[in-house]
């Protein structure tokens, strides 16, 4: 991706949201959104673990320690996604769907609704006005993220898929994790299925873990980025916006 015109390489190309929205493209395309720390002001995976600890559903001290360890590894780009999923999907496998759905409803009310972002709605609505196809693409599993996508009115969700066997979660997944290069692979299949292309594409993310997909789209946008992504955006002249 070329540097923005008149922009010095290495310096983040920061744009206020109002100016960014007013200058968005007018052709119909596809707008992809990371979820955690992009459309919401927190990490839904990590917060689900916090909720389980607070409710006494899991072994508090041990689970909290591991939950934090995995989150810290994610932030520095060293997460073993399969090791994390083995840990994170255990409570799904240990409980029936009715119980899980009841917990999830409470979790959404207590942990997610308070961190929804009004500016995220503004950004989504701008793309809707352009008749773009909107999709969330997230490493967090579908059980957690599907109701969050619904809160934003987004029908298309690409996520890590927990495996269901005879009406219960098995503790495994189907397909590949929707993480790092896995996002690119999942999106490729989704594009074929929906007869879409990346010819006029946008992807919004906060994380350097999403660089494989950010490098694939026509319009990569860093949203409240981590330090590594902010540096990469500066080197490549990508716009940096805030939804906070």
Q: Which residues carry out catalysis? A: 34, 36
Q: Which residue has the tokens 């073993």?
A: 80
- Minimal CA–CA distance to 160: which of 172, 136, 177? 177
Torsion angle of the four alpha carbons 60, 61, 64, 65, in this order, in degrees rounded to the nearest 10: -160
**Mode of pairing for the β-strands spanning 30-33 and 201-205:** parallel
CA torsion sign, 27 to 28 to 30 to 34? positive
Q: Distance from first CA to last CA of the chain, Å, rounded?
A: 26
């Amino acid at each position: 991706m070329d540097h923005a015109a008149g922009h010095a390489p290495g310096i983040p190309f920061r744009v206020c949201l109002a100016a960014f929205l007013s200058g968005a493209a007018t052709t119909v395309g596809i707008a992809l959104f990371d979820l955690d720390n992009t459309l919401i002001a927190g990490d839904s995976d990590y917060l689900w673990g916090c909720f389980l600890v607070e409710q006494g559903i899991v072994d508090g001290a041990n689970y909290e320690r591991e939950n934090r360890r995995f989150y810290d590894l994610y932030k520095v780009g060293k997460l073993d996604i399969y090791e994390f999923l083995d840990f994170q999907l255990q409570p799904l496998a240990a409980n029936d769907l009715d119980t899980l759905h009841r917990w999830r409803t409470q979790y959404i009310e207590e942990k997610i609704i308070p961190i929804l972002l009004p500016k995220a709605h503004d950004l989504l609505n701008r793309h809707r006005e352009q008749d773009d196809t909107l999709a969330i693409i997230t490493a967090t599993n579908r059980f957690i993220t599907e109701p969050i996508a619904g809160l934003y009115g987004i029908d298309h969700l690409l996520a890590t898929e927990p495996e269901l066997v005879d009406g219960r979660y098995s503790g495994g997944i189907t397909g590949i994790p929707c993480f790092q290069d896995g996002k690119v692979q999942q999106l490729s299949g989704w594009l074929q299925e929906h007869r879409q292309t990346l010819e006029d594409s946008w992807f919004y993310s906060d994380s350097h873990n999403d660089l494989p997909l950010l490098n694939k789209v026509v319009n990569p946008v860093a949203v409240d980025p981590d330090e590594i992504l902010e540096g990469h955006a500066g080197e490549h002249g990508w716009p940096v916006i805030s939804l906070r």
